[in-house]
Amino acid sequence: MKNIFIATAVLLSGCAGTWESTPVVERMYVITCGENHVKDLARFTGQAADKDKAVVFSDYCYLIRHAKGWMLWDTGNADRLAAMPNGLQTPVATAYMRKPLAESLKEIGVAPEQIQHFAMSHHHGDHSGNANYFGTSTLYMQQAEYDAVFGAEPQKYGVAVANFEKLRGAKTVKLNGDHDVFGDGSVVIKSTPGDTPGHQSLFVRLAKTGKVLLSGDMVHQSVNWDAMRAPGFNFNVERSVQSMREMDVYLKQTGAKLWINHDMVQNQAIPKAPAFVE
C-alpha cells in the first residue's frame, strides 16, 4: 500500500509539472488604448506632496490568443477621441486616443466579431470606451458590476450608459467571484471589488513571460501599491485596500507579476502591439 501511495504521488506531481509547463495561452498583445493626462496626482495618492503634480497615465487593452479562441480584456478610451488632437477635457484629466482600437486590431489581423470572449476590468470610460464593438462576444462580468451598469440607476455609479448599449443583448456570463475562463488555469478572472462594485482583474499564464496579473484599476500607480492605499473617490475605499491585500497574497502564492495598467513607467519595458508577449 505504501508503495502504491508513493507511486501515485509521483505521478500526480509529474502531471502538475507538465500542466504548469504547457500554457494554452499562445500569445498576448498589449495594445496602446489611449493616455490620460492627469492634472493632480494627489487625487489618486492622497499625498500633499503630489498636489497639482501632472502625470501621464497609460491605458492598455489586452488581446489574448488561446487555443479555444480570442479574448479581449478592456477597450481603452473611445476611438472617437482619435479625431480630437487636443484630447477630451475632463475635470480630472485630458483623455487621448492616438490610434483607434479598431485600427490596432486590424493591424494584428483580428476583427471585433472574431473575438469570442470579452471582459472589462470595470465600467469606467477609459476601460469601456469601445465596448460596443463586442456585442457578439460572450461577456464576462461580475453580477455587482452588471447591476450597476444595466440596473435602474446607472447614474448613481457614474456609468457612461452609451458605452454599453450594444452589450444589452450580449451573451453574458454573470460572475460572483473568480472564474477560470477556459477551464485550464491559463486565464482566470479575479474578483477585486472596490474601485467599482464589481471590479475584476485578470491572471494570465504565458509560456515565456510567465504569470502576470492585469490590474485594471485595482491600483492605479506603483506608489499606491507599495503603500497599499486607494484613492478616496473609489466606490468603496476599504474594500479596495482589501482587494489589494488579497491580490498581494495571490501574487506571492502564484509567483505572478503585477502589471499596473495606468503606470506608464512600469509598462515601458513591455512590448506593445503589433508585437506580442509569449
pLDDT score at 24: 79
Q: H-type helices in 22-141, by residue range?
A: 42-45, 101-108, 125-128
Write down the residue that cell numbers 482589501 correspond to.
Answer: 242
Peptide bond between residue 112 and the one before it cis (omega within 30 degrees of 0): no
Q: What is the pLDDT of residue 22?
A: 57
Cell of 229: 492605499
Distance CA 205, CA 169 (A): 31
Q: What is the pLDDT along the chain (278 residues), one digit of tens a residue?
A: 434 333 333 333 333 333 444 567 999 999 999 999 999 999 999 999 999 999 999 999 999 999 999 999 999 999 999 999 999 999 899 999 999 999 999 999 999 999 999 999 999 999 999 999 999 999 999 999 999 999 999 999 999 999 999 999 999 999 999 999 999 999 999 999 999 999 999 999 999 999 999 999 999 999 999 999 999 999 999 999 999 999 999 999 999 999 999 999 999 999 999 999 99
Beta carbons of 31 and 101 less than 8 angstroms apart: yes
Is residue 37 within 8 A of residue 94, CB to CB? The reply is: yes
Angle at 131 between CA 58 and CA 149, to 5 degrees: 100
Q: Residue 126: in which H helix or E strand, if any?
A: helix 125-128
Residue ranges of domains in the chain: 24-267
Q: Which residues contact 114 (CB under 8 A, 6 or more apart)?
A: 70
Q: Hey, how many other C-beta atoms are within 10 angstroms of the C-beta on 83?
A: 8
Identify the bridge partners of residue 214 per DSSP, sorted by sequence position: 202, 259
pLDDT at 14: 36
**Helices and strands in the chain, H and E counts:** 8, 13
The C-alpha cell 469601456 sits at 128
Give the three-class secondary structure for 263: strand
Burial of 230 (0-12, 13-18, 19+ CB in 10 A): buried
Contact 108, 273 (CB under 8 A): yes
Per CATH, is 24-267 categorized as 3.60.15.10? yes
Q: What single-letter amino acid sits at 208? A: K
**Of 95, 94, 114, 92, the residue nearest 105 (C-alpha):** 114
Q: Answer whether 213's CB lies under 8 Å from 201's CB.
A: yes
